[in-house]
C-alpha cells in the first residue's frame, strides 16, 4: 500500500506536518512576509530572514517570472483552509485527551479496588495531582475525568466520530447532554445512529432541535417523571463580575421562571413615564425590591437582613473613593468581590455590629480582629485570614469549611492560629487519607497562615492567605539611612 493511500485514511490531525522548524511557531511564510497588497512590483518583493540567511532587515530579491503574485482571495482561501485543518486537528486531540482522562480514571478505580481503598479518595488524589500541575481546580479536573469515563462508556460511536474529526466538541456536547436521560445501551446506540449522520452536515444548534425530537421517540420515562427528577436540582447561585457587580442565577421550573420575568416586566411597565431607567434596569430593580423587602421600595438595600462580611478600609469610611491605581484601598466582600464606596459607607452606617480588622502592613494578611467573646476570637481571626479553603486552587468559602489542625491535635498540635487553617470537607478528608502504597499528602505551616502542601508524588505547592489590607514597602529614605547609619530612629520615620 502506498504512503499516499495510507495517509488518506488517517485522521486529519495525523496528516499535519510536525513543526520542527522554529520559525513555524510564527505561522506560515506568507503570514510572516509582506501582504500581497503591499507588493507593488514583482521585482520589488521583500525576502524574509529565512531566505536571506540573516536576521537583519529584509532586502528585496527578484521574484521568478513564472510565479504569479498571490491575490487577496488566494491568501484568504489559504487562511481559511489552515483554520479548518487546525480545528480538525484540535478536535482529534481533544478526543485523544478524553481517552487519556478516561484511562487515568479507570486506572485509579482499579488501583483503589486492588488496595481495598475508598475509590472517591483515590480519584480525588488523581485529580489533585493533575490539577495542581496545570494550576486548575481539582474539582474541575475530577469532573472532566468523570465525564470522560462516561463518554467512553456510554457514547463510543460519538467519541469515535469526534476522534475522526467528523464532528466537533459542540456536536458531542449536544448528543451527550440531550441524550443523558436514555438509560439503556440500546437506546443510546439508536440515538447516536440517528444523530451522527446529521451532525456531520449541520451546526450544533440545529442538531439540538433534532436531538430533542429524537429523544422523545426513544425515552421511556414520561415528561412528568423527568420534570419531577429535574425539579430536585433547582438552585440559586451568584457569580461575581467586574466593577462591583454580580450575576444572580436561579435554576427553577420553567413556568415559575417565566412567571417571575412576566411580573417583573409588568412592574417595569408601570413605572413613571419620565423614569430615566431602561426596561432591563427597571426589571432588575423590581426583582431586588421583591426579594429583599417583599414590596417595591426606592432602595433595595434597606431590605438586606442577611449577614454580609465586608472589609472597608478606613480611607473609604473617611470619604476617599480611591482611584484606578489604588485597588488595595477598595471595599471588598470576603469573596474578594469589589463593593462600590457609596454602598460600603451606607452599609457601615446602618449596620448594628462592626468588627475591626488589623492587617499585616507588608503582606496585607489579617493578623487580628476585635471581638467581645474570647471563645470566638480564634475562629473569627481564621475566617478573616483564610477567606477560603486553603487547599491550592480551591475557592470554597471559609464559613462553609472545616478548621483543620495542621499538626493533628492528638499528635501534640496546638489550637492556635499558627497551627489552624480552613479546609473544605472534600480536601480535609483527602489530607488525612491513606492512599495506595501508604502514600499521603503532607501539609505544614512554614509560618502562621502560610501553608506548604507536598503531594504523594513529591510536588510542592505553597498557599498564602488572601491579601485583605494594603501592602507597604520600605521607603527609599529609610533604606538609605539604614544602609548608611544603621537602624533608623523611629521619630524620623
pLDDT band at 413 (very low <50, low <70, confident <90, very high): confident
Do 409 and 387 belong together in one domain? yes
In a domain, 370, yes or no: yes
In angstroms, the CA 285 to CA 267 distance is 10
Do 265 and 239 belong together in one domain? yes
In a domain, 77, yes or no: no
Confidence check: pLDDT of 75 > 50: yes
H/E element holding 446? strand 442-447
Of 19, 51, 70, the residue at which a domain comes to its end is: 70
pLDDT of residue 170: 93
Question: Cα–Cα–Cα angle for 133, 139, 143, nearest 5°?
Answer: 105
Do 329 and 414 belong together in one domain? no
Residue-wise pLDDT tens digits, 186-210: 999 999 999 999 999 899 988 988 8
Whole-number average pLDDT of the chain: 77
pLDDT, average across residues 246-253 = 92
Least confident window among 25-29, 43-47, 58-62, 119-123: 25-29
Do 396 and 453 belong together in one domain? yes
Full residue range of the structural domain in which residue 381 is found: 366-463
Structural contact between residues 364 and 269, judged by C-beta atoms closer than 8 angstroms = no
Query: How far apart, in Å, do the first and last CA atoms of the chain sit?
Result: 84
Question: Counting Cβ atoms within 10 Å, is residue 162 exposed (0-12), middle (13-18) or buried (19+)?
Answer: buried
Least confident window among 166-180, 275-289, 353-367: 353-367
Question: Quick one: CA dihedral 115, 121, 123, 124, positive or negative?
Answer: negative
The distance from CA 486 to its chain's CA centroid, rounded to whole angstroms, is: 48
Confidence check: pLDDT of 412 > 50: yes
pLDDT of residue 27: 40
Do 315 and 290 belong together in one domain? no
Do 373 and 449 belong together in one domain? yes
Which range scores top for mean pLDDT: 187-191, 243-247, 290-294, 369-373?
Answer: 187-191
% residues pLDDT > 90 (the chain): 29
Structural contact between residues 231 and 256, judged by C-beta atoms closer than 8 angstroms = no
Confidence check: pLDDT of 467 > 70: yes
Confidence check: pLDDT of 18 > 60: no
Confidence check: pLDDT of 252 > 80: yes
Do 452 and 390 belong together in one domain? yes
In a domain, 403, yes or no: yes
Question: Counting Cβ atoms within 10 Å, is residue 189 exposed (0-12), middle (13-18) or buried (19+)?
Answer: middle
Confidence check: pLDDT of 373 > 70: no
In a domain, 335, yes or no: yes
In angstroms, the CA 164 to CA 172 distance is 13
Nearest CA to 440 among 86, 56, 128?
A: 128
Confidence check: pLDDT of 28 > 50: no
As for how many domains the chain has, the answer is 4
Residue-wise pLDDT tens digits, 307-348: 556 677 777 766 766 554 444 566 776 656 666 677 777 767
Do 315 and 292 belong together in one domain? no
Give the relative orientation of helices 185-199 and 156-163 as an angle to the nearest 10 degrees. 30
Confidence check: pLDDT of 303 > 70: no
pLDDT, average across residues 144-172 = 93
Do 437 and 374 belong together in one domain? yes
In a domain, 83, yes or no: no
Q: pTM higher than 0.75 for the full model?
A: no
Q: Which CATH number goes with the domain that contains 383?
A: 1.10.30
Of 32, 54, 70, the residue at which a domain comes to its end is: 70
Least confident window among 101-115, 340-354, 403-417, 474-488: 474-488
Of 46, 70, 94, the residue at which a domain comes to its end is: 70
Pairing between β-strand 402-405 and β-strand 420-423 as defined by DSSP bridges: antiparallel
Residue-wise pLDDT tens digits, 99-136: 999 999 999 999 999 889 999 999 999 999 999 999 99
pLDDT of residue 325: 44
pLDDT band at 51 (very low <50, low <70, confident <90, very high): low
% residues pLDDT > 70 (the chain): 68
Do 341 and 375 belong together in one domain? no
pLDDT band at 8 (very low <50, low <70, confident <90, very high): very low
Do 394 and 451 belong together in one domain? yes
In a domain, 170, yes or no: no
In a domain, 289, yes or no: yes
pLDDT of residue 64: 61
In a domain, 98, yes or no: no
In angstroms, the CA 80 to CA 251 distance is 40
- Determine phi and psi for 462, rounding to 5 degrees: -115, 130
The residues facing 338 across adjacent strands are 332
Do 322 and 247 belong together in one domain? no
Question: Counting Cβ atoms within 10 Å, is residue 437 exposed (0-12), middle (13-18) or buried (19+)?
Answer: exposed
Amino acid at each position: 500500500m502506498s504512503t499516499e493511500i495510507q495517509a488518506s485514511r488517517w485522521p486529519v490531525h495525523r496528516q499535519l506536518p510536525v513543526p520542527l522548524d522554529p520559525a513555524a511557531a510564527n505561522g506560515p511564510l506568507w503570514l510572516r512576509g509582506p501582504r500581497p497588497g503591499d507588493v507593488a512590483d514583482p521585482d520589488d518583493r521583500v525576502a524574509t530572514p529565512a531566505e536571506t540567511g540573516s536576521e537583519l532587515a529584509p532586502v528585496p530579491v527578484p521574484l521568478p517570472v513564472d510565479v504569479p503574485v498571490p491575490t487577496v482571495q488566494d491568501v484568504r482561501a489559504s487562511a481559511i483552509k489552515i483554520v479548518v485543518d487546525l480545528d480538525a486537528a484540535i478536535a482529534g486531540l481533544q478526543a485523544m485527551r478524553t481517552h487519556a482522562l478516561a484511562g487515568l480514571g479507570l486506572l485509579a478505580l482499579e488501583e483503589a479496588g486492588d488496595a481495598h481503598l475508598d475509590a472517591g479518595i483515590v480519584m480525588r488524589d488523581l485529580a489533585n495531582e493533575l490539577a495542581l500541575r496545570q494550576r486548575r481546580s481539582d474539582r474541575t479536573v475530577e469532573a472532566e475525568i468523570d465525564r470522560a469515563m462516561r463518554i467512553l462508556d456510554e457514547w463510543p460511536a460519538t467519541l469515535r466520530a469526534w476522534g475522526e474529526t467528523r464532528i466537533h466538541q459542540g456536536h458531542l456536547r449536544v448528543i451527550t447532554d440531550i441524550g443523558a436521560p436514555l438509560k439503556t445501551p440500546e437506546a443510546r446506540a439508536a440515538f447516536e445512529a440517528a444523530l451522527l449522520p446529521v451532525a456531520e452536515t449541520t451546526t450544533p444548534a440545529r442538531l439540538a432541535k433534532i436531538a430533542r425530537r429524537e429523544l422523545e421517540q426513544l425515552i421511556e420515562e414520561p415528561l412528568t417523571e423527568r420534570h419531577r427528577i429535574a425539579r430536585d436540582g433547582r438552585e440559586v447561585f451568584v457569580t461575581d463580575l467586574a466593577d462591583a457587580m454580580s450575576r444572580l442565577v436561579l435554576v427553577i421550573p420553567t413556568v415559575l421562571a417565566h412567571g417571575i420575568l412576566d411580573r417583573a416586566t409588568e412592574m417595569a411597565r408601570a413605572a413613571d413615564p419620565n423614569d430615566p431607567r431602561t426596561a432591563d434596569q427597571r426589571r432588575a430593580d423590581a426583582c431586588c425590591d421583591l426579594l429583599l423587602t417583599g414590596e417595591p421600595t426606592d432602595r433595595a438595600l434597606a431590605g438586606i437582613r442577611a449577614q454580609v462580611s465586608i472589609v472597608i478600609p478606613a480611607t473609604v469610611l473617611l470619604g476617599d473613593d480611591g482611584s484606578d491605581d489604588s485597588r488595595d484601598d477598595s471595599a471588598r466582600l470576603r469573596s474578594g468581590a469589589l463593593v462600590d464606596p457609596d454602598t460600603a459607607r451606607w452599609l457601615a452606617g446602618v449596620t448594628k455590629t462592626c468588627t475591626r480588622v488589623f492587617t499585616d502592613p507588608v503582606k496585607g494578611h489579617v493578623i487580628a480582629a476585635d471581638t467581645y467573646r474570647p471563645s470566638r476570637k480564634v475562629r473569627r481571626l481564621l475566617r478573616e485570614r483564610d477567606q477560603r479553603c486553603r487547599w491550592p486552587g480551591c475557592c470554597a468559602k471559609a464559613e462553609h469549611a472545616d478548621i483543620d489542625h495542621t499538626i493533628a491535635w492528638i499528635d501534640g498540635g496546638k489550637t492556635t492560629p499558627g497551627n489552624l487553617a480552613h479546609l473544605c470537607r472534600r480536601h480535609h478528608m483527602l489530607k488525612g487519607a491513606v492512599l495506595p502504597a501508604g502514600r499521603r499528602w503532607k501539609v505544614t505551616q512554614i509560618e502562621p497562615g502560610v501553608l506548604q502542601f507536598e503531594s504523594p508524588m513529591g510536588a510542592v505547592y505553597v498557599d498564602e492567605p488572601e491579601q485583605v489590607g494594603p501592602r507597604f514597602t520600605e521607603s527609599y529614605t529609610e533604606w538609605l539611612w539604614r544602609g548608611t547609619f544603621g537602624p533608623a530612629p523611629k521619630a524620623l520615620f
